[in-house]
Amino acid sequence: EASVGYGDRAVNLHNDYTGEEPDIIFVYLGCNDFAYYKDTFGEAADVNYATLITDNGDGTFTYAVPATTCEAYAIMLHKATNRYSDAKIYCMTSTARRETDYTGDSYPDAGQPTAYSAELQKVAQYFGFPVIDLENAIPKEVELFDKYIGDKRAHANALGMDQISNEVLSV
């Protein structure tokens, strides 16, 4: 659980050496889940928050093992907001994929993440977090896409991060 976003990483966003806590948290999730786990992505309407997150009544919570990406996302958001209650949390949708069915180094047959991003938006909205739409931050055209994405998949390079930053700053 420590290596996944809904595990320990969700509560380790601070600096252990200085004690500094984040003022702002940007959550950019779903790219790999969209590409590799479509069958278990799930839908926000199916998330039962009452059984997924149990308040133990003493300031601690017990979390069910998530069966879907939507459930894991909900757990991660709950953990982050509970741990960093003073931080402003913004969720971000996935960026788009190349417009063709290029499969070389890219996610094969991945399509566009629009419907999956919509499900994560619903989970974010359940918690009251604003959502920044990044679908058009990276151009889909083949001749431009690789200019902004370093690994031909979903991970932005410096130019891509500039594009994403521009979207974030426009909010």
Do β-strands 61-63 and 53-55 pair in parallel, antiparallel, or remain unpaired? antiparallel
Quick one: average pLDDT of 110-116? Answer: 69
Q: What is the mean pLDDT of the chain?
A: 83
Q: Which pair of structure tokens corresponds to residue 34?
A: 């969209």
pLDDT in the model for residue 2: 41
Query: Residue 143: CA atoms inside 13 Å, Cβ hemisphere, count?
Result: 0
In terms of pLDDT, which residue wins out, 23 or 111?
Answer: 23
Q: What is the pLDDT of residues 51-81, one digit of tens each?
A: 999 999 999 999 999 999 899 999 999 999 9
The span from the CA of 170 to the CA of 164, in Å, is 10
Q: Which pair of structure tokens corresponds to residue 11?
A: 């509560």
> Where would I find the H helices in the chain?
31-36, 49-52, 69-83, 114-126, 142-148, 158-169
Residue 108: pLDDT over 50: no
In terms of pLDDT, which residue wins out, 112 or 67?
Answer: 67
> Of 135, 121, 37, 11, which Cα lies nearest the Cα of 73?
121
Is residue 67 a contact partner of residue 42, using CB atoms and an 8 Å limit? yes
pLDDT in the model for residue 1: 44
Give the residue carrying structure tokens 């998330």.
47
Quick one: average pLDDT of 121-133? Answer: 94
Q: Which pair of structure tokens corresponds to residue 92?
A: 């971000």
pTM of this prediction? 0.84
